[in-house]
Structure 1
Amino acid sequence: MDIDPSASAAEQYAYRLRLYRERAELTQDDVGRECIISGKMIGHFENGRRIPTLDVSKGLDRLFNLDRYFEELHPHVVREVTLPMGFAEYIEYEQQAASLKVYEPQFVPGLLQSETYARALLSAANRGDRLERGLAVRMGRQDILQRDEPPFIVVLIKEAALREPVGGVDVMREQLAHLLEMMERPNISIQVIPAGRPVYLSSGFTLLGFVEGLGIGYADAAGGYGHLIQAPQQVHELAIRFEQIRGEALSWSESEKRIRAFLEEM
């Protein structure tokens, strides 16, 4: 996309990043090493296809010796993609997590969505630039899966979420195939909760674990207006609930067979 720094905070961010990098005579790989991400990701930031995190923004300020320029621009970029502030904060924690436990009753979780599936979901309420920026955030979250030491992820997903033909049959076939590919990774476990099992929570939640420090939770809500859960007792209660739900799910191998069967039925 053509970058116009006067059009939005996101495009100003992209334009300035390229400008400061080229002035410093640094490659995208050089900047990536300083920010502990790939040079390819720096390229995505510069062409507006990904939204940088707050930690990356602080790293850019340090690298270019700027007085919190990118750090202060970051919340304006987040607001443009209409991310609720609670979720924006959650994304920052997600980027640092060593483990994630996800329960999702309605849709394939964002970290495991194919781009066409994500676009179909987001297009229901977004158009034009707003859609593209929202998609950039959604797909950008998946960068943690490409880390040298990616987080360990356990996903519990209700069968109904895998039968809902989001975007049509072709999109859903691609999404199911993508899930099967993700299941081949040693750090990702997906378990299906069959229809009829006594799991009646209407909204999903996520538990984040860290190498150091206490874990936190995030509970979904309508329209994306969820909230962070940091009180140790509440996080502990969510962890117990997760294990109770997991007890109703199929095993990894049975889940793989069930997803493959859904794919073959389409």
Structure 2
Amino acid sequence: MANGSRQAAWEFFGAELKRRREDAGFSQSVLGTRVFVSGGYIGQFEQAIRKPQLDVAQRIDAALQTDGFFERMCRKLIKETHYAEYFAHVAELERLATEISDFAPAVVPGLLQTRDYARGVFLASHPFATDEYIEERVKARMDRALALKDAGHPVYWAILHETVLRTPVGGPETMGQQLEHIAAAVRERRVMVQVLPFSAGAYPGMGKMLKLMEFADTPPTAYTEGVLSGNLLDDPAVVKQMRAAYDQLRAAALSPEASLALIESAAEDYRRCATTT
């Protein structure tokens, strides 16, 4: 489904939600209370600004007695994206965020990946997939990365563990180009990147990726990911703890200047390796 068609479908979802909510005699606040979100969230669902997670759609069906209508529509729209089901909502939120903070323990964050690096990641995860499947995933990831090139792009901060720099995804040439891509984005002041060096030792949430997102008029969220699973968290107390953990990582990381120097040095090492193989 094309992006325009998907947006039209979400707008239909929102219009139906508003119609059925009003038929039930509920205000946005009342429905929000019944499905454990704010009334403002219900308003954003109705305007197709924000997309509900599947469990919220299920609770809406229960509150409005709509016999699974919103769950079925939500499942269909999630299925027709090029993202894993557990990540589809996160991809939508990235477009709305005013600030994004990533911690990457092993792989370059999707928003910073080059096409060849992304292809290497997907091939490693799906070694028997067709070329068409891989290219669809790569295109979806490149579409996400455009968010950092738009005029109104979010403030973006990434902390990369040194493991990210030392793992040659796609081979030396691809990895060298990937690190040059990150360095260029830093030099152009489109992103802020720090490296957490091996010498920092143990760190909060060992081995776990973390994404924090801030928004103009809704509460912040935190996202963590495991193998074929993800957790999008918006409980204020939990998000506050995640923010504190991120601040610890930032304090332990190299300065932005030292981080850029290390990234450029690693890129040069890969370039030399590529020319001798």
TM-score, scaled to structure 1: 0.71
Contact 1:156 1:246 in 2 (8 A): yes
Mapping of residues 27-176 of structure 1, within 5 Å: 55=7, 58=10, 76=76, 78-79=78-79, 83-124=83-124, 125=126, 126-176=129-179
Secondary structure, aligned partner of 1:211: coil
The alpha carbon displacement at 1:169 in A equals 0.5
Structure 2 Cα separation of the partners of residues 52 and 219 of structure 1:
29
The alpha carbon displacement at 1:221 in A equals 0.8
Structure 2 Cα separation of the partners of residues 170 and 255 of structure 1:
21
The amino acid across from 2:224 in the alignment is: A
The alpha carbon displacement at 1:206 in A equals 0.3
Q: What is residue 189 of structure 2 aligned with on the other side?
A: 186
Deviation larger for 72-81 or 157-166: 72-81
RMSD: 2.8
Structure 1 residues 221 and 156: alpha-carbon distance in aligned structure 2, compared to 1, 3 A threshold: same
Structure 2 Cα separation of the partners of residues 170 and 138 of structure 1:
20
Aligned residues: 211
The amino acid across from 2:269 in the alignment is: E
Deviation larger for 169-178 or 200-209: 200-209
Equivalent of residue 223 in structure 2, options 200, 218, 227: 218
The alpha carbon displacement at 1:144 in A equals 1.1
The amino acid across from 2:103 in the alignment is: Y
Structure 2 Cα separation of the partners of residues 144 and 226 of structure 1:
21
Structure 1 Cα separation of the partners of residues 9 and 81 of structure 2:
17
Structure 1 residues 52 and 74: alpha-carbon distance in aligned structure 2, compared to 1, 3 A threshold: farther
Gaps of 5+ in 1: 1-12, 15-50, 63-70
Secondary structure, aligned partner of 1:250: coil
* Percent identical: 25
The amino acid across from 2:226 in the alignment is: A
Secondary structure, aligned partner of 1:153: strand
The amino acid across from 1:222 in the alignment is: V
When Rg is computed on C-alpha atoms for both structures, the one with the higher figure is 2
The alpha carbon displacement at 1:86 in A equals 2.6
Gaps of 5+ in 2: 15-50, 52-71, 271-277
Q: What is residue 209 of structure 2 aligned with on the other side?
A: 204
The alpha carbon displacement at 1:149 in A equals 1.3
Structure 2 Cα separation of the partners of residues 80 and 128 of structure 1:
19
Q: What is residue 242 of structure 2 aligned with on the other side?
A: 238
Are positions 1:195 and 2:190 aligned together? no
Residue by residue, what CA displacement relative to the aligned partner does 1:167-225 show, whole Å, maximum 9, x if unpaired?
101100110110111112334100001112122611101000011121001001113x1
The alpha carbon displacement at 1:163 in A equals 0.8
Structure 1 residues 123 and 236: alpha-carbon distance in aligned structure 2, compared to 1, 3 A threshold: same
Structure 1 residues 53 and 209: alpha-carbon distance in aligned structure 2, compared to 1, 3 A threshold: farther
TM-score, scaled to structure 2: 0.69
